[in-house]
Chains A and B, each alone.
Chain A
Amino acid sequence: MKNERKRTFLLITVPILALFVCFNTIPLIRGVIYSFTNFKGFGSYDWVGFRNYIDLFSDARVGKSYLFTFKLAIVSTIVTNVTALLLALALNSKIRAKSFFRGAYFLPNILGALVVGYIFNYFFTYILPALASMIGVESLKSSILSDPGSAWFGIMIVCAWQAIAMNTIIYISGLQTVPEDVYEAGGLDGATGWKQFKHLTFPLIIPFFSINMVLCVKNFLMVFDQIMALTKGGPAQSTESISYLIYNNGMSGGQFGFQSANAVVFFIVIVCVSVAQMKFSGKKEEQL
């Protein structure tokens, strides 16, 4: 009887594990192996040792893509979380048609990022400049996506527009865990408005804040669809995210080996950021 159970579990686990290894672990290992070669994606290749990694750190384009991706991720995370928290507070207060509003505000999240990107691309290219010239704002008369200095801002808006929907829902479920009597007790001690939020509400929803931070940073660091739809990395390579650069130069640019090295570094960066975030939020929760 006991053996039957053991055998069944083993028969379940081994094939599924094999599937996982085959399409996750093996490609991962192959990626690491390619990173030590000068493979172009076709034909023969040679071992080049750490050459790709050394080149990576002196490559201006790669450096620029890391700077851009982190700038985008940090600003988007802040914008998304501040807006989502405000929205969640409003959606959790005594309002009418609550479920309608919640449903409507979640809508951006279910739409595909690529198509959303195309719609906003049109908005930034035609609508915004037309609006600007109508009300006479000189600086916005040309598309913000065609200026290397401001294109990232357009991408940030689109990333935030979708992510806010997700984060708001998570904050709402956090706010619902705060019992009403906490506010009543706080109210007696004079905690209202900002004070109430800072000392009562926010500390109680920190776990949800952590979830949102982890979700946001990870998703924004891997940004791809929005870049594809809005700028394709331009203008002047100012909006190339790491994923986009790996895709673009690795798949069709003949840099298979070199971009594999980039991908390995990117993987290590993602792991470090995630572990750091988890450690940090773990500490914060303990303090309470």
Chain B
Amino acid sequence: MITKKTNHAAMILLILGLSTIVFPLYLTLVIAFKQPTEMTNSISGILSLPKVWSLDNFREAMRVTDFWNSLRNSLVITLAAVGLSIGIHSIMGYALGRNKADSKFYSFVYLFIVSGMFVPFAILMMPLAKQTAELGLANWFGVIILYVVFYMPMNILLYSGYLVNIPMALEEAAKVDGASTWTTYWKIIFPIMRPMHATVAVLTALAVWNDVMTPLVILAGSGQNTLPLAQLNFQTQFGTNYNLAFASYLLSLIPILIFYVICQKQILNGVVNGAVK
């Protein structure tokens, strides 16, 4: 057991297993670059490398799915939801975390919000579609508000859990200097919670970026799309032109792949922290 030698059996299994992840991505890549005429019904016809690496499919897919607008919507919604989550959820986590031990009101509010984690979207979906329409929020702005509400239970749980490790003495020292609670929070507590901000940012960003149901229900008929929603809404326009469809799929995966390559470590840490805490 205590051998320091490489575990060759595990290595071989891992390399073989990797094919289950690489294969679907390879498939997407080669189909996205090919022309429909290159797609024969045999395996080799589908899986061989394209004869020419042309970007025509991508240009066409961008045009058909209104790619840049969808990308912009997705980016705006994700960035706004992440930013607002960090600001609003952290201060709420602070207010509840600091008071729930000795105040019935705050401990009730805490439990009330955190138990929102059990509410499936399925039950909120139909009333929310009505409600956002009534309030004139059936647009990307409404979607952002909904995300801030949906991820509130989870994020408040994370923030107030993290707060336990931050000693009260820090705040008391600032108070002696005459700082208000509000300034103390933003100047002292908010910066200390940075590791938790990273976790919340990663979890919220991944969930929002890939979410289909909320925009599907809220943006229906508004003509606005997010990247995943565009794939769904333009599915019929791709028809049997799978090359075009796959070019579009690949385009929608590229932003998150880039994000993953750059922030892999933070993402892995964030996901583990979020789940384990």
Contacts and interface: CB of A to CB of B under 8 A. Distances in A.
Given A103-B264, A111-B256, A243 B122 contact: yes
Given A9-B98, A24-B116, A112-B212, A87 B122 contact: no
Interface in B173-227: 175, 180-182, 206, 209-210, 212-213, 216-217, 220, 227
Contacts of B252: 112, 115
B268 interface: yes
Nearest to A7: B181
A175 interface: no
A215 B276 CA distance: 11
B53 interface: no
A163 B15 CA distance: 19
A222 B228 CA distance: 18
A251 B43 contact: no
Contacts of B10: 89-91, 93-95
B126 A34 contact: yes
B122 A246 contact: yes
B126 A31 contact: yes
A96 B20 CA distance: 20
Contact of B14 (A22, A90, A130, A256): A90
Consensus secondary structure, chain A interface: helix
B13 A112 contact: no
Given A5-B181, A90-B14, A134-B43, A267 B1 contact: no
Contact of B272 (A5, A95, A169): A169
B1 A123 contact: no
Contacts of A22: 149
Contact of B231 (A96, A118, A183, A251): A118
Contact of B27 (A17, A28, A34, A127): A127
B127 A115 contact: no
Given A9-B99, A94-B7, A224-B213, A110 B256 contact: yes
Contact of A113 (B41, B152, B212, B220): B212
Interface residues of A, number: 90
B46 interface: yes
Nearest to A122: B242
Contacts of B125: 246-247, 250-251, 263
B120 A222 contact: yes
Interface in A191-214: 192, 196, 208, 211
A75 interface: no
B212 A114 contact: yes
B38 to A, nearest CB: 14
Interface string A215-227: 1000000101100
Interface in B125-167: 125-131, 145-146, 148-150, 152
B95 A263 contact: no
6 contacts: A13-B95, A95-B11, A96-B11, A112-B253, A115-B231, A184-B2
Interface of A: 1, 4-5, 8-9, 12-13, 16-17, 19-20, 22-24, 26-28, 30-31, 34, 41, 87, 89-91, 93-96, 101-116, 118-120, 122-123, 126-127, 130-131, 134, 161, 166, 169-170, 173, 180, 183-184, 187, 192, 196, 208, 211, 215, 222, 224-225, 228-229, 242-243, 246-247, 250-251, 256, 259-260, 263-264, 266-267, 270-271, 274
Query: 5 tightest A-B contacts by CB?
Result: A27-B127, A112-B210, A263-B123, A30-B127, A8-B181
